[in-house]
Structure 1
Amino acid sequence: MAPSSPRPALPALLVLLGALFPVLEAQVHLALGDQRLNPTVTYGNDSFSAKASVSVTAEDEGTQRLTCAVILGNQSRETLQTVTIYSFPAPNVILTKPEVSEGTEVTVKCEAHPRAKVTLNGVPAQPVGPRVQLLLKATPEDNGRSFSCSATLEVAGQLIHKNQTRELRVLYGPRLDERDCPGNWTWPENSQQTPMCQASGNPLPELKCLKDGTFPLPVGESVTVTRDLEGTYLCRARSTQGEVTRKVTVNVLSPRYEIVIITVVAAAVIMGTAGLSTYLYNRQRKIRKYRLQQAQKGTPMKPNTQATPP
């Protein structure tokens, strides 16, 4: 049960008793410490339940005695229980600013109940206590990063956990790199292609790719490649955080150009084969000439096999 300003606490005290007759004549008295309560009683055949809401403040925090007394005829019964009243609001995550520009120093604080143990994104307070903070320099990778503060309080031997999370938004300028916007495309004429160029940034930048300042590249659209598509385009990504440009070149291969490439490759293969054949022929001719000269001089030829020892 949590104390608060002087207003009824939402939790209520509930007492159940059975095997009473005549149950309607039973008188019920409830008290929390020295505070007399006004219960609402619900009767059954031989039992009843009594429920009462309690108004508590921070001064009532701690262990209180709950007394339930029942009087029926000349008989009375009384039972005692203990109730622990505590205050444990959720921890508070504080950002220097929830939205900052890239490169800004950001302080993230986590504050909780004075007796609670807190951690911020898994980092405990040093020394263990109700407050911890992180310092960082905002980068684009921190955009959308969540900071979670967890607080743990021990109440009457039980651990109670509460959490709060806040998100950081980082504003950064446009980016155009090779991965998201290739700088060179080579496509066959009359083929179906989709030019892809995407800029990143926060806020998301506006992207335009133009050739000669007027002819647009149909980014993200499926198009039939024509000679008109060939050329160098200037892609410009712009946002409130700045702008960046990148050149993109489109090369179009005509069918005639492909035939020329095939012809050149075939000629190279034929010439290579002819050259190899000529080399082998000349080598064999030189070997035969050498052997003939050695035979005319009477110089014995060296045997190819090793002599057998006596």
Structure 2
Amino acid sequence: MGLPPGTPELRVLDLLVSVAETGSLGRAAGRHRISQPAASMKISALERQLRLVLLERGPTGSRLTPAGAAVVDWARPVLDAARALVSGVAALHADQEGQLRVAASMTIADHRVPGWLITLHDRAPDVRVALRVGNSSQVADMVRRREADLGFVEGPHAPHGLRSRAIGADELVVVVAPSHPWAVRRLPLPLRSLAATPLILREQGSGTRDALGEFLREAGEFASPAAELGSTTAIKSALTTGDAPAVLSRLAVSAELDDGRLINVPLEGLGPLRRTFRAVWLSDTPPAGPATTLLDLVLHA
């Protein structure tokens, strides 16, 4: 038996449910990464298809009509069933292929993923893991393009359009070569002095750079970078010249701090500069199979 004529598309039903959940057509459009006019057109087309008025539109916004609320109630179990179908198919693929595609930012890939994968191998020795590494922005894009089942990113905010769970935190530290004038400072460095100094930075899209930008905005304007480099290793190498400071993950510079190759410069009046590590995945494809196993062990590590 085929579907009845006039059966709505799932995506426009999902948009209508988002209006109900967010209380705003504009916020629902943002959740679905479309413009508000495009969202309004889709809802209008659904109203014509169903021959019902679903939203009351006014100068202060839009709200569901009683008919719209009823359609939302009927749509929710349909959408839940569709998500379960997608999740189930993804789990079947994972079981059949025995492969888990993971993407991770450089800091997490270097200092957290190896331990996680050892534990995963103990729990699920038949799972083959394919790991891709990039900056946090690149990792989020891999997940959005369905090139990775699960991603791990760092930074002040969760990536737009993805589900996420916080999985820990990291500390950023100001570091200089022993020959840099800040290496012998007797007093902590004011944040405004850090903001006014050209720093060696990671490239745009790096979680380290995004988190640092959030902290430096408290001091107002901040200086243009002394250099922009694509990896922490490259920055550590550039620091040896002693010409410019950098702000890096303590995880990434712990060995250099321990043996004196780099010096940590404390900041005035601030506790540790922390940024969050997050696991991310597509909203319509929840982690399943090996991805669920990995996420569970990461959350309980």
Category of TM-score, reference length = shorter chain: under 0.3
TM-score by length of 1: 0.19
**Higher normalized helix content (fraction of residues):** 2
Larger Rg: 1
Choose between structure 1 and 2: higher strand proportion.
1
When normalised by structure 2's length, the TM-score is 0.19
